[in-house]
Chains A and B, each alone.
Chain A
C-alpha cells in the first residue's frame, strides 16, 4: 500500500521543485473546471472568495432554487473556472443540495474537485471526502481552518493525510489567505496531470456487499469501458438510486469516459 501512494508524493510539486512551478507546455488558454465541495461551516465560501476574488457571479442551478456561485482564477496562463457546490455532509442521502453537488461532480465532469475540510472536525469531514473520492479520481483536499485548529492545540499531519487518501492535501487558513497560492498550484498540478491521484477506495465493506459490488462493477465496466467510477455507479445501483439508474438506462453514463475534455485537447495538440 505505501508503494502505491508513494507516487503521489513524487508527483507532488512541493516534493519535486523548490519553486513548485513548472513551465506550461501549452500556451493556449485552456479552461479547467474546478468544483468546490465541502461540509457547511468549513469556510468553503471563504476559500471560494480567496481563490476567485471579485471575479465571480451568482445565479441559480438550472431549474433549482439553490444558489450557484461561479468564479475564476488564472494560474500559469490558464483559466480555472471554480464552481461553488452547495455545502453538504454527504453525497448519499437525497436532499436537493446533495443531489446538486453529486450530479455536478459526476455529470459536470470537473477537471478537479476540491473538498474543503475543517481541520477541527477532521473525522466528520472525511465522510464527505471519502464519498467524493468514490466518484472522482481528481481531487484536492483543502485542509482549512488550520489556524483555529492550531489555537485548539490540534495538529493535522497533512502529508500523512495525503498518503492515506491518495490525493494531495493543502493546509490553508483561507480567512488570512494562508495556503491559497499553494492550493492554486496544486489544483493546477492535478488539472494538468502533473500529480496523478490514487484515491482511497474503501476495503472495509462487508463481504456479501463487496461481492455484489464486484459483480456489478465488472458488468458496468464491460458495458461502459473507460468509466472512471464504475464501482461508485455499482454502489449507487445497489442502493436503488433512481438518478443513477436513469443515467445507466439512458446511456448518459456512456459519455462519462475517463478522459476529460482538457486531456483530449492536449492529445490533439501533440
Chain B
C-alpha cells in the first residue's frame, strides 16, 4: 500500500504533464469560460422574476462618472468642491479656537507660571515651547480636518472612490504599475503609513514596491492643512474675496493633481529602470451606490480619523515645541543653534525659492509633517527679531490667519516662496512613521532609502526649476 502510493504520485505528475501539452495552454481560459457558462445558466434559471429595475440610475451614474469624456472633469470637480467647502468652512472655527487657546489660555498660563515662580527656562520649554506648538497645531488643524475627513468619508461611503480607482486603473497599467495602486494611493491621501500597509493588496513584489515608493506623492493628512493654509494666505489673496476661496481650492487641487501625475511619472520611470517586469491583472468591483449613513459617517470619521490624526500631531508637536524653543534659545558663542543652522541652510534654500528657515523646519518636522508651519512661524519670529508678537524670541505668537500672513510676509515670504513651499510639501521625504512602516513592510534598508531620498531629490529639482524660471521671467534675483 505504502509502496504503490509512493510510486503513483510521480506517474500522476508525468501523465498530467503529457496531457497538459496535449490540451494546450489555453486550458485555463477555456475552463474559466465553462465555469462562466454554467454560472450564467444556473443564475438565469434561479432568477424567477425581474421587475423593471429601479436601480437603473446606478448604471447611468456609473456610465457618466467613469466615462472617457466626463470621468476626469467630474473627479476634479468633486475634489475642488471638497476643498472649497473645507477652506470656506474652516476659517471661522479656526479663529475661534485660536482666540481661546492662544488669546485667552496662553497669557493666563504665563501669568500662572510667573506667579508660582517657575524658572524662566522651564516656563520657556513648557509654555512657550510645548503648549504653544500644541495649541497652534490644534487650532490650525482641527477645523479643516473636522470638515475634510467626513466629506472624504462620505465620498467613500457613496461608492465614488472605487469609480476613481476605475478611472485611474488604465493609466496605472500603462505606466507599468498595478491597477490596485489607485486604491493604495487613495489610502495615502489619508495617511501615507496606512497607504504603505494597504499595498499588501498588491501581490506582485515589483508592483508593490512601485506603489510603496510612490505613495508619498499622495498628499497626506499632515500636509493638507499646510497646503490649504498657504493657498488661502498667498493665492486666495490674489483675487477678490468672493472668489478667493475658490482660487485657493483650485490651487490645492492643482497640487493634489500634480501629486497624482508624479505618481504616474515616477511609477513609469521605476518600471522602466530598476523595477522592470510584467503587469498583472485583477478584478475591480464597482459596488452599488449606497446611501451613506451620514450621522454615523460623521461620527466615525471624527473619532477614527480626526481625533487620531490630531492625537498624533499633538504627540509630535509637544516635543518639537520644546526642541524648537531650546535651539532658538541656547547660544553657542554669538548665535543660537537655530541661527547657525538657518544661516548655513539659507543660501541653498534661496536657490530653491525657499529659505533656511523652511529647510530647517523640514528637518525638525521629520517626525510629523503636521508641525512644519508652526515650526516655520516660530523660527521666523526668532530670526526677524519681531517683537510684540508673543513674548520674546522663539515663541509662537497668538495667531490668527491674518497674523500668520503678516509674520510670513515680514519673514520675507513672497508668492514664489508660497508656491515653492506647496511644491516642496508635496515632494519631500515621507515622515519617520511612514519610513519606519516602509522598512517594516519591505524589510529592506535599500528600498527604505530609495523611498526617502528619491522624493527629496525630486523636490529639490522641481523647486529649483520653478524658482529659477520665476526669476528669469520676472527678472528679479
A residues lining the B interface (CB < 8 Å): 39-41, 65-66, 89-90, 92, 94-96, 120, 122-124, 126-127, 129-131, 148, 151-158, 160-161, 164-165, 200, 202, 204-206, 208-209, 212, 215-216, 219-220, 222-224, 234-235, 237-240, 245, 248-249, 251, 254
Closest approach, in angstroms, between the C-beta of A99 and any C-beta of chain B?
A: 9
Closest approach, in angstroms, between the C-beta of B476 and any C-beta of chain A?
A: 53
Which residue of chain A has the shortest Cβ distance to B282 in the bound complex? A95
Is the C-beta of B46 less than 8 angstroms from some C-beta in chain A? yes
Flag if B282 contacts A205 (CB, 8 Å).
no
Whole-angstrom CA separation of A134 from B257 in the bound complex: 47
Whole-angstrom CA separation of A155 from B46 in the bound complex: 9
A40, A212, A220, A251, most chain B CB atoms within 10 A: A212
Closest approach, in angstroms, between the C-beta of B57 and any C-beta of chain A?
A: 11
Neighbouring A residues of B20 by C-beta, 8 Å: 237-238, 240
Take A126-B39, A151-B54, A202-B34 as given contacts and tell me if A237 and B16 are in contact as well, using a CB distance cutoff of 8 Å: yes
Flag if B9 contacts A248 (CB, 8 Å).
yes
Question: Which listed residue (B16, B43, B47) contacts A216, Cβ 8 A?
Answer: B16
Flag if B47 contacts A156 (CB, 8 Å).
yes
Whole-angstrom CA separation of A97 from B403 in the bound complex: 53
Neighbouring A residues of B285 by C-beta, 8 Å: 39-41, 89
Stretch at the interface among B22-30, B113-121, B338-346: B22-30
Take A153-B52, A237-B12 as given contacts and tell me if A127 and B27 are in contact as well, using a CB distance cutoff of 8 Å: no
Is the C-beta of B38 less than 8 angstroms from some C-beta in chain A? yes
Flag if A212 contacts B19 (CB, 8 Å).
yes
Flag if B12 contacts A123 (CB, 8 Å).
no
Question: Which listed residue (B15, B46, B51) contacts A122, Cβ 8 A?
Answer: B46
Flag if A155 contacts B200 (CB, 8 Å).
no
Which residue of chain B has the shortest Cβ distance to A39 in the bound complex? B285
Flag if B9 contacts A251 (CB, 8 Å).
yes
Take A160-B48, A239-B28 as given contacts and tell me if A127 and B35 are in contact as well, using a CB distance cutoff of 8 Å: yes
- Can you offer 19 A-B residue contacts whose CB atoms are under 8 A? A66-B200, A126-B38, A126-B42, A130-B35, A153-B51, A153-B54, A155-B49, A155-B50, A200-B38, A202-B38, A205-B31, A223-B9, A224-B5, A235-B31, A237-B13, A238-B19, A248-B13, A249-B13, A251-B9
Question: Which listed residue (A89, A96, A164) contacts B46, Cβ 8 A?
Answer: A164
Flag if A160 contacts B52 (CB, 8 Å).
no
Neighbouring B residues of A205 by C-beta, 8 Å: 30-31, 34
Flag if B42 contacts A120 (CB, 8 Å).
no
Flag if A123 contacts B38 (CB, 8 Å).
no
Flag if B53 contacts A152 (CB, 8 Å).
yes
Whole-angstrom CA separation of A120 from B5 in the bound complex: 46
Query: Considering the complex of A and B, which 6 residue pairs feature the smallest CB-CB distances, nearest first?
Result: A153-B51, A223-B8, A126-B39, A123-B43, A161-B46, A237-B16
Neighbouring B residues of A154 by C-beta, 8 Å: 47, 49-51, 53
Whole-angstrom CA separation of A175 from B143 in the bound complex: 34
Flag if A249 contacts B31 (CB, 8 Å).
no
Whole-angstrom CA separation of A130 from B288 in the bound complex: 24
Whole-angstrom CA separation of A120 from B43 in the bound complex: 11
Flag if B30 contacts A206 (CB, 8 Å).
yes
Neighbouring B residues of A148 by C-beta, 8 Å: 288
Whole-angstrom CA separation of A158 from B48 in the bound complex: 10
